[in-house]
């Protein structure tokens, strides 16, 4: 098991003590500190002025009550969060997650990851994350609207295009961003397009933002495959999830000649051995807001098409050359990784944030599987959000082609900087170490320049 350098171990112990009961946050911090031992060995000056301790402590954490009225006239109460982790690189930037599992530890882990991810994009954005334990599943449009309006009624005072710029994440898509933006505009009496990203195309959104995270992960994973002289063409691929990230991962992998044979949601997974029909998945998920099990019913079971219920198997039992986990954190365990390795997986690109457990990452790396960590591989979404902010600031609108070309360049740059940083710090081929160190150095330099703040 990788160890934290003796000089950094007290920092980790303090994070655990101060943030008791937040295992996902501990996990995210631990992984970064394991990598940073190599940095402080070469550059002990990074230990000065509690720079690393400061990076592990959010600049500001906001927790608030979100009261709203459901369709039956009953008052419901949820809890809202925004963790403004680091503004060293620019305004806080990161999505909002609406899911019943949300708590402060989950938001903190996501905000912490976002610092390094956003730095890797090379664009001027700091790190933050927010959300609520509100579950949009099964709620009417009216209920979602009233919830979003109440959520923004508290949060708006902490936001601004130069302060903090949220976007979507699990459970927050175009519909929710529309309601949030409408309420922000109403409360502030300002048409401040740059305060949220992932907006609709008719009110300041960017072409290619919807596709960006999935496309970006596909570009990143392609770059990893190419270091071994290979590509997506002819590869069998498994993509977990069936939301925003998964959908557009499937689309780009198919365009690159890969065959995606399985995807999932929290009810289970579907397999179509001849390759998933993406139009049908979009119809089920984006239009009907249904479950992936409907795929097997609509396509007809048999001939390599089947559905496996959650709890009766794992999507990672399906043999593939490339795995792209794109649902949620810790969804791919050490046992799943061992199965994938046994079945011949050669590359893993994380579309979700921290979907592989530490044991799974170790299993992949020990088996020589190319492993792209989320903070690098899924950075295309937030990078394109920063491009949306650029378009808003210049009152401009770019074509899909121009935006996607910028995204593709950014993903190749991120890949190359992780790859060369890993080499420079004595860990060739280790994208986890490369991403953590390259991201850290970019954030540490402005922090040092600003003095002790
Ligand atoms: N939307 C974006 O631009 C970005 C999203 N991400 C990450 O990608 C992941 C997916 O996010 P989105 O696609 O935006 O969300 P989404 O809400 O559009 O889709 C989430 C998908 O994951 C599935 N899922 C959630 N919990 C699950 C569980 N416990 N078991 C199995 N499936 C589960 C849902 O059924 C759904 O298909 C998250 O980890 C998110 O933080 C990362 C970078 C950017
Ligand atoms: O586009 C954004 O600002 C945030 C995307 C996001 O939440 C993420 O990168 O995990």
Instruction: Write the pLDDT tens digit of every residue in 219-262.
Output: 999 999 999 999 999 999 999 999 999 999 999 999 999 999 99
**Which atom belonging to ligand 2 lies closest to the Cα atom of 95?**
7
Q: Is the pLDDT of residue 32 over 90?
A: yes
**CA proximity to 60, closest of 25, 87, 26:** 87
Alpha helices in 61-169 (DSSP H): 104-120, 141-155
Tell me, what's the pLDDT at 213? 98
pLDDT at 155: 98
User: Is 16's pLDDT higher than 90?
Assistant: yes
Q: How far is the CA of 381 from the centre of ligand 2 (A)?
A: 6
Instruction: Say if residues 154 and 64 touch (Cβ distance below 8 Å).
Output: yes
Query: Could you read off the pLDDT of 141-175 as tens digits, one per residue?
Result: 999 999 999 999 999 999 999 999 999 999 999 99
Ligand 2 atom 1, closest CA: 382
Across the strands, what pairs with 127? 86
Give percent above pLDDT 70 in the chain. Answer: 100
The whole-number average pLDDT for the span 416-434 is: 98
Helical axes 23-42 vs 358-366, angle rounded to 10°: 50
pLDDT in tens, 92-105: 999 999 999 999 99
Q: Is the pLDDT of residue 25 over 80?
A: yes
Across the range 340-347, mean pLDDT stands at 98
Alpha-carbon distance of 334 to 341, in angstroms, equals: 10
| Closest CA to ligand 1's atom 3 | 381
List pocket residues of ligand 1, CB cut-off 6 Å.
168-171, 213, 241-246, 264-266, 326-328, 331, 351-353, 378, 381
Catalytic residues: 129
Say what the pLDDT of residue 289 is: 85
Flag whether pLDDT at 1 surpasses 80.
Answer: no
ipTM: 0.98
Residue nearest to atom 5 of ligand 1 (CA): 169
Sign of CA dihedral 91, 50, 129, 147: negative
User: Given this model, what pLDDT does residue 321 score?
Assistant: 98
- Residue the block writes with tokens 């995270």: 213
Average pLDDT estimate for 411-426: 98
pLDDT of residue 243: 95
Give residue 2's pLDDT.
81
Is the alpha carbon torsion for 86, 176, 21, 116 positive or negative? Answer: negative
In the predicted model, what is the mean pLDDT of the chain? 97
């Amino acid at each position: 098991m990788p160890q934290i350098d003796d000089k950094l171990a007290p920092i980790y112990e303090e994070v655990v003590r101060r943030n008791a009961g937040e295992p996902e946050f501990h996990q995210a911090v631990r992984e970064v500190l394991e990598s940073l031992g190599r940095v402080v060995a070469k550059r002990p000056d990074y230990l000065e002025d509690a720079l690393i301790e400061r990076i592990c402590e959010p600049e500001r954490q906001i927790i608030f009550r979100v009261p709203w009225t459901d369709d039956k006239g009953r008052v419901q109460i949820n809890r809202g969060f925004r963790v403004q982790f680091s503004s060293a690189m620019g305004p806080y930037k990161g999505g909002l997650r609406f899911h019943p599992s949300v708590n402060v530890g989950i938001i903190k882990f996501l905000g912490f990851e976002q610092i390094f991810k956003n730095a890797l994009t090379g664009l001027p954005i700091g790190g933050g994350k927010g959300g609520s334990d509100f579950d949009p599943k099964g709620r009417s449009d009216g209920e979602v609207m009233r919830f979003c309006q109440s959520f923004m009624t508290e949060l708006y005072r902490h936001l601004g295009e130069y302060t903090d710029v949220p976007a979507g994440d699990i459970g927050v898509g175009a519909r929710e961003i529309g309601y949030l933006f409408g309420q922000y505009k109403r409360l502030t009496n300002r048409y401040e397009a740059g305060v949220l990203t992932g907006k609709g195309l008719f009110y300041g959104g960017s072409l290619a933002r919807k596709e960006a995270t999935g496309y970006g992960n596909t570009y990143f994973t392609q770059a990893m495959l190419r270091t071994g002289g290979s590509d997506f063409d002819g590869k069998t691929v498994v993509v977990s999830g069936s939301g925003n990230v998964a959908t557009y991962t499937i689309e780009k992998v198919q365009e690159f000649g890969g065959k995606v044979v399985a995807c999932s949601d929290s009810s289970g997974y579907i397999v179509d051995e001849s390759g998933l029909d993406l139009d049908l998945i979009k119809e089920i998920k984006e239009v009907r807001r249904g479950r992936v099990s409907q795929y097997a019913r609509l396509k007809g079971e048999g001939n390599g098409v089947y559905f496996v219920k959650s709890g009766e198997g794992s999507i990672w039992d399906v043999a593939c050359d490339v795995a792209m986990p794109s649902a949620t954190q810790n969804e791919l365990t050490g046992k799943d990784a061992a199965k994938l390795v046994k079945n011949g997986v050669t590359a893993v690109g994380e579309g979700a944030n921290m979907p592989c457990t530490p044991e799974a990452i170790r299993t992949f790396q020990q088996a020589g599987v190319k492993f792209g960590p989320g903070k690098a591989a899924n950075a295309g979404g937030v990078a394109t959000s920063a491009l949306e902010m650029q378009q808003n600031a210049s009152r401009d609108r770019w074509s899909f082609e121009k935006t996607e070309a910028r995204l593709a360049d950014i993903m190749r740059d991120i890949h190359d900087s992780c790859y060369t940083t890993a080499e420079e710090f004595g860990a060739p081929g280790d994208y986890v170490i490369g991403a953590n160190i390259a991201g850290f150095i970019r954030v540490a330099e402005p922090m040092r320049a600003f003095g002790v703040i």
